[in-house]
Copies of this chain bind each other. A is one copy, B any other.
């Protein structure tokens, strides 16, 4: 690993804002980081030593030869490539055997079932008739998801009639599940929670406080840390589930377990992400050890850091870029002048409607004041 001779070299596949935000803690820790980015001008351009396609095996193998450990900004690298990397002796974290559960929602649901973790009622359905039966049995509406490739509301539809996803059955007939879709009950939830966990290859595990995530149009809009839940039992249950999942799938690096708190007091797992996650951006300022630093420590198999909050409350608000705005710095002067306490993060991305181009975090003692400040500072970029 280079631990005995010098700096550890970490290679990140994917050049988005998650890779970008790994660079600051790598600099502070004295780790070397390089990024395999899809395009020139990507968010992690600072560290984008290599530009290339992560679906091209030779590109990935050549990149891996230059580093001590390979990790990820996204979960899209094909399993065949990941397994071949391990056959070649490359340290890959998270390992393909864990990553498959973040890549495939049907495998994930099966695994969570094995682990005894509470999930919404679900089925893998092969045709419209099976789907319609599930919808009818679960109140006339249900959530349909493609097993692969969905994120931020993509690959997810709420339907009342199987015909509404006929295109997916057709398009996915050739995939690993033979066209199967995942269908789930529409959960009557009071709020969405996220439990971040970091786990080293040795098994050392640290969890952050459970946070509340507020979605708008299927995209994370705001994160409140810690989550202002109705009862402490909910936090305990979320933390318990996070620990079971992290150990059960043997994740290495950061795992985000997204959950519903139901109206009747249960906690159900919705999604898994095996990388730093939007619900953990608050931790850059809000935790002693950020999710980005912790991910690097975990994949480099270094001891994990303290995850306590640095203040009683932290709120993160995403900046979702509209078309006419230009890059975030256009509005910087006004936003910084009005909100000296706000930490403004720009991903240096060209704006597109709904695109995550940055975020704002405020940390402090009083949740209401912190939240109002974070929302106001982010609104400067609307």
Q: Which residues of A contact B (CB under 8 A)?
A: 2-8, 20-21, 23-25, 27-32, 46-47, 284, 288-289, 297, 302-306, 308, 310-311, 326-330, 332-333, 336-337, 340-341, 343-348, 358, 363
Instruction: Select one of B6, B303, B308, B332 contacting A329, CB under 8 A.
Output: B6
Copies of this chain present in the complex amount to 2
Which one, B25, B297, B306, B341, contacts A341 given CB within 8 A? B306
Q: Does A329 lie within 8 Å of B2, measured CB to CB?
A: yes
Q: Which residues of B contact A308 (CB under 8 A)?
A: 341
CA A4 to CA B325, docked complex, whole Å: 10
B333/A30 in contact, CB under 8 A: no
Taking a contact as CB atoms closer than 8 A, the residue among B6, B47, B284 that contacts A46 in the complex is B47
Least CB distance from A186 to B in Å reads 38
Q: How far is the CA of A303 from the CA of B329 in the complex (A)?
A: 12
Distance in Å: Cβ of A113 to nearest Cβ of chain B = 34
Residues of chain B with a CB closer than 8 A to A332's CB: 3, 29, 302
Cβ-closest 7 pairs across A and B: A30-B346, A24-B24, A303-B337, A303-B336, A306-B340, A306-B341, A30-B348
**Chain B nearest CB: distance from A297 CB in Å?**
7
Since A6-B329, A30-B345, A30-B346 are in contact, a sample of 12 more A-B pairs with Cβ atoms closer than 8 Å, ordered by chain A residue number, is A6-B326, A21-B27, A23-B23, A23-B46, A24-B28, A27-B46, A28-B284, A30-B328, A30-B348, A288-B341, A303-B337, A305-B341
Taking the closest CB of chain B, its distance from the CB of A347, in whole angstroms, is 7
- Asked whether A305 lies within 8 Å of B336 as measured between CB atoms, the reply is yes
Question: Known: A288-B341, A305-B340. Contact between A346 and B29, CB under 8 A?
Answer: yes
A46: B residues at CB distance < 8 A: 23, 27, 46-47
The CA-CA distance from A289 to B267 in the complex, in Å, is 37
A85 to B24, CA, bound (A): 31
Q: How far is the CA of A15 from the CA of B195 in the complex (A)?
A: 40
Known: A4-B330, A23-B27, A24-B27. A302 touches B345 (CB 8 A): no
CB of A303 within 8 A of CB of B340, answer: yes
The residue on B at minimum CB distance from A30 is B346
A341-B308 Cα distance, complex, nearest whole Å: 9
The answer to whether B29 touches A327, judged by C-beta atoms less than 8 angstroms apart, is no
